[in-house]
Structure 1
């Protein structure tokens, strides 16, 4: 049962191969087993690759089976269409398109399995990339808010500096009227005279302005600080909302790019392994000598080819014979007077009818 299944996988004619030797049958059993297990590996590879895309087992298995059957059918077709020839170079030239197709299939099959084999290393590369993306994203979002925050800070500093300047002015006025009272500056007369009162009033007015300025600027500073807090909240919200996009940056293309960041030699050896598996049935047929099955298959195909050529030649002879008979028949008919008189009578009646129709048409015009 298993032997017949692998023979079916090899694409060989089971009826012809049944009458061949055991060694010849085992050769095609091995080719069929290689085709079958290549399709199994293709199913596993495609299933894993599609699972990274759909994140669903049923979808991955369904499309993985379709891909596996497709690879199975292609490999079976490739192997079954290679015919043994007397010259190895002719065989190699015949198989070259199929070898190129096998290389493409090997690349497609090996890449998803490489992603699975090097999954931990790929996750590390993806983590580094995600961290870089997170920092870059934060910097990019910050560029939207930094000018606003800087402008608010400058405005707050200006308000505080305005208060500080006013305080300095009040302190200077205070020092002036105290020095006047003590006689250290100004009139240098100890006591609270008219000049003292003038300077004291000027200080008190500046102090009142300072108190009002502090109240006004404090309210403005409080409003500006609230705006800074609001901007900080908006910044954090944008970072938080964009972070899931970065966290989900682990799709198929991202993993393939991360795989390319790893050393190429291990991946190359895995590719060579699948290339050997994929091309082994082809090279098995190319390198194997012309066997009993090949001769019998050539005999069957030659028999059909001869039969088709014979039928085509017979059709040509029948056609030529039919032409010759027709020529003789019509040649004999030209000599018969009866057929001549009958056709002459019919032609005469036809010409009369044509003349009558022409006469009626001309009369209608007149």
Structure 2
């Protein structure tokens, strides 16, 4: 039962194989087994690759099975179309396009399995890339908000500087009128005279301006700090909003690119393994000598070909004979007087009817 299943997988004629030797049966069972297990690995590879895309187990398995059946049918077709002949170079030339197709299939099957085999290493590469993307994303977002924040901070510093300058000016006036009262500067007369009063009034007026300036600038600074806090909050929100996009940076294309950053030699050997598996049925059929099955299959094909050719030739002979007979029959009939007289009378009747019809139509026109 299992042998018949593998024979079917190899694309061989099971009726011929049943009457062939054990060696031939085992050979085609091995070829069919290779085709079958290649399709199984293709199903696993496609399911994993699609899982990285859909993130759904059932959808991945469903489409993976479809892909496996497609690879199975394609491999079975490739193997079954290679026919043994007495010319080895003809067989190699016949197998060349099929080998090229097998190489393409091997690449398609091997790549998803490489992704699974090197999953941990790929995850490490993806983690580094995600960290770099996170830093770059924060830098890009910061570039959107930093100029405005820096400008507002500069305005706040200017407001504070304005207060500081006013305080320095008030303190200088304070020291001036105190020195006048103590007789250390100005008139150098000890006591609170008219000059002292003048300087004191000037200081008090400037002190009042300072207090008003502090109140105004304090309100402006508070508003600007609120604006800065709002901008920083927007910046943080944008970082939080865009971070999930970076966290989901682990799709099929990202993993393939991450795999390319790993050492190439292990991936290359895995590819060679699948290439050997995929091409082994074709190579086996090309290298194997012409066996009992091949002779029987060739004999069956030649029998059908001979039968079809014979039927075509018979149809040609029948057509040729029928054509000759028809020519001879019609030639003999053409020489008979009875047929000649019959057709002459019919022609006379037809011309008379045409003449009568023409006469009637002319009478209707004349009225």
TM tier relative to shorter chain: over 0.9
Q: Give distance in 1, aligned partners of 2:307 and 2:186.
A: 139
Superposed displacement of residue 12, structure 1: 0.7
Could you say which residue in structure 2 is the equivalent of 1:297?
Answer: 297
Could you say which residue in structure 2 is the equivalent of 1:159?
Answer: 159
Q: Give distance in 2, aligned partners of 1:274 and 1:188.
A: 107
Could you say which residue in structure 2 is the equivalent of 1:257?
Answer: 257
Q: Deviations over 1:236-256 (max 9, x none)?
A: 111011111100110111101
Could you say which residue in structure 1 is the equivalent of 2:174?
Answer: 174
Does residue 108 of structure 2 align to residue 102 of structure 1? no
Superposed displacement of residue 365, structure 1: 4.7
Could you say which residue in structure 2 is the equivalent of 1:50?
Answer: 50
Could you say which residue in structure 2 is the equivalent of 1:23?
Answer: 23
TM (normalized to structure 2)?
Answer: 0.97
Could you say which residue in structure 2 is the equivalent of 1:119?
Answer: 119
84-93 vs 345-354, greater mean Cα deviation: 345-354
Give 1:87-98 correspondences, 5 Å limit.
87-98=87-98
Superposed displacement of residue 361, structure 1: 4.1
Q: Give distance in 2, aligned partners of 1:351 and 1:190.
A: 162
Deviating above 3 A after TM superposition, structure 1's stretches of 4 or more consecutive aligned residues are: 356-366
Superposed displacement of residue 354, structure 1: 2.6
Q: Give distance in 1, aligned partners of 2:27 and 2:365.
A: 92
Does residue 78 of structure 2 align to residue 84 of structure 1? no
Superposed displacement of residue 86, structure 1: 1.2
Q: Deviations over 1:220-241 (max 9, x none)?
A: 1111111111111111111011
Q: Give distance in 2, aligned partners of 1:19 and 1:99.
A: 30
Q: Give distance in 2, aligned partners of 1:358 and 1:160.
A: 123
Q: Give distance in 2, aligned partners of 1:290 and 1:247.
A: 59
Could you say which residue in structure 2 is the equivalent of 1:12?
Answer: 12
Change in Cα spacing, 1:189 to 1:355, as seen in structure 2 (3 Å) is farther
Q: Give distance in 2, aligned partners of 1:32 and 1:305.
A: 27
Change in Cα spacing, 1:188 to 1:358, as seen in structure 2 (3 Å) is farther
Change in Cα spacing, 1:203 to 1:363, as seen in structure 2 (3 Å) is farther
Q: Give distance in 2, aligned partners of 1:18 and 1:67.
A: 31
SS at match of 2:259: helix
Q: Give distance in 2, aligned partners of 1:358 and 1:59.
A: 82
Q: Give distance in 2, aligned partners of 1:352 and 1:169.
A: 141
Q: Give distance in 2, aligned partners of 1:157 and 1:359.
A: 122
Q: Give distance in 1, aligned partners of 2:346 and 2:207.
A: 140
Could you say which residue in structure 2 is the equivalent of 1:310?
Answer: 310
Could you say which residue in structure 1 is the equivalent of 2:217?
Answer: 217
Could you say which residue in structure 2 is the equivalent of 1:144?
Answer: 144
Change in Cα spacing, 1:169 to 1:365, as seen in structure 2 (3 Å) is farther
Q: Give distance in 2, aligned partners of 1:237 and 1:179.
A: 58
Q: Deviations over 1:15-71 (max 9, x none)?
A: 111111111111111111111111111111111111111111111111111111111
Does residue 339 of structure 2 align to residue 331 of structure 1? no
Superposed displacement of residue 111, structure 1: 0.4
Q: Deviations over 1:140-182 (max 9, x none)?
A: 1111110110111011001001101111111111122122222
300-309 vs 46-55, greater mean Cα deviation: 46-55
Superposed displacement of residue 346, structure 1: 1.8
Aligned residues: 366
Superposed displacement of residue 364, structure 1: 4.6
Superposed displacement of residue 356, structure 1: 3.3
Could you say which residue in structure 2 is the equivalent of 1:231?
Answer: 231
SS at match of 2:188: coil
SS at match of 1:250: coil
SS at match of 1:16: helix
